[in-house]
Structure 1
């Protein structure tokens, strides 16, 4: 029988005072002699963050332990202990490696929770797990994943939902003029802008860039000029955002291709099983008919 295998690898790279993480992945889908392979790189950049004095319900200060952060193995073990059901390898491998990289971000000594980061992570998770066999299991995996990092999955979901609902009611103009208005989401964005502008450290990552992309997507404001103005309002380097969004779009394209290939493989296997079952059904029908005929003769 043909097999489907997948392998994803995430490598970390440190440069000067910043830590960069490279996510490279290879998915091999094999059917007898057929092999299809793709690779992608996922580069996440992060710097330290300190607390800001700005108040916002959406900004939760989740600092890591400075003196004794847990090892990566403990985080992975926490996940495996809590979620004991089998996970298909194409999903499980990427989840296990992704949790390693998020562990490194989560337990930096200057780490602070960021609602835009949360929106970005939730967006990526939903994209990665789209098509998972069970919606209930997909949510349970999300819960276990975030808890393994000693954070609140409910907070991630709640903040992501608030930002999404807010973005749907915005226009391209109001999205970039958040600083002139009051509100829960506006307060969170002002806090980010203050810290990124030098009134506190700011932790930029690819998840943050994806969170911005999601806000623009929901606000129907996908013009490059709007992204540029939003980055300026948040005091974020647009070049970094552009670079990371290009990689994210490529990632989504590869995922779509992989899922299409998996579907084709599943369809082929189903067809083969049906073809193998036809002779057996025919034999059973013949046997049944012969048996009935013999019985009637008696």
Structure 2
């Protein structure tokens, strides 16, 4: 089966769950640090020939520490307990790990373009899934596992899609001089990306931009360049990430075709095995009827 590529999204780093740093025991002041996501404990121990003193400082979590990846994956599995075909499950599991790391970066801030990009990627990846209801249930479980609102994702994506369909290359790029809900979203992104606030670029954001251009029938490279400039986004990063996205979709299509061929081949084998059985049953019935008639 063809190898299924996956989106690769930069993430935050996590410290080891139990790391100690110690000075040699001969030093009069032993210093130990134990770190994880829930607390920090610093122990200072001074010793001499007559007494030993110990000073412990506990720095409790303020609630901003990110959960471990395993917790997000477990929340997803608990929310959607039905088996997922491996061709889809492989991509989903890698995607949720990478989005977890991006989601809990300090600079992360949800926006509608990011939501449009994720919804676009998800719908493309899950195209052809056996059940529409299951596909939406998986979407709900996935987004909720990241402590976000799936209804908001869908609503914001649909709103931007409707807006983009009414635009053209010129009006899309000139959002800063226009008034409107979607225009205000883009203005806010441009301000934050320009350095006035928190902004974390991701490949989902790049796909969201491309989707806007696609719906506005403005996919020329020059339009993308102008839109990136208006949003204070690095076009080279967008070009690179869109190439990754296209490559992923291409390989996923190949894998789905191979899976379809395999299913059809197995179905044909089962039918070929069933036909002789049906013929034997028919012969038995005829023979039994003949025997009955001859009596």
Q: Find the counterpart in structure 2 of residue 291 from structure 1.
A: 288
Q: Which has the larger radius of gyration?
A: 2
TM-score by length of 1: 0.79
Q: Find the counterpart in structure 1 of residue 94 from structure 2.
A: 97
Correspondence for 2:260 among 263, 270, 292: 263
Shift of 1:260: 0.9
CA contact (8 A) 1:118 1:160 kept: yes
TM-score by length of 2: 0.80
- Which aligned runs of 4 or more in structure 1 are off by greater than 6 angstroms? none
Correspondence for 1:68 among 49, 65, 84: 65
CA contact (8 A) 1:167 1:219 kept: yes
How does 1:84-233 map onto structure 2 within 5 Å? Answer: 84-233=81-230
Matched, 1:272 2:269: yes
Structure 1: any 5+ residue segments left out of the alignment?
A: 1-28, 30-36, 48-64
CA contact (8 A) 1:172 1:220 kept: yes
Deviations 1:72-129 (A, max 9, x none): 1111111111111111122122212211111111122332111111111111111111
Task: Provide the rounded CA distance (Å) in 2 between the counterparts of 1:186 and 1:253.
Answer: 33
Shift of 1:39: 5.8
Q: 1:39 to 1:91 in 2, by over 3 A?
A: closer
Matched, 1:237 2:268: no
Corresponding pairs, count: 246
Deviations 1:215-267 (A, max 9, x none): 11111111111111111111111111011111111111111111111111111
Correspondence for 2:246 among 246, 249, 252: 249
Structure 2: any 5+ residue segments left out of the alignment?
A: 13-61
Give the structure with the larger strand fraction: 1
Task: Provide the rounded CA distance (Å) in 2 between the counterparts of 1:142 and 1:132.
Answer: 12
Task: Provide the rounded CA distance (Å) in 2 between the counterparts of 1:151 and 1:197.
Answer: 25
Task: Provide the rounded CA distance (Å) in 2 between the counterparts of 1:211 and 1:137.
Answer: 24
CA contact (8 A) 2:9 2:99 kept: no
Root mean square deviation, CA, Å: 1.6
Q: Secondary structure at the match of 1:256?
A: helix
Task: Provide the rounded CA distance (Å) in 1 between the counterparts of 2:106 and 2:196.
Answer: 18
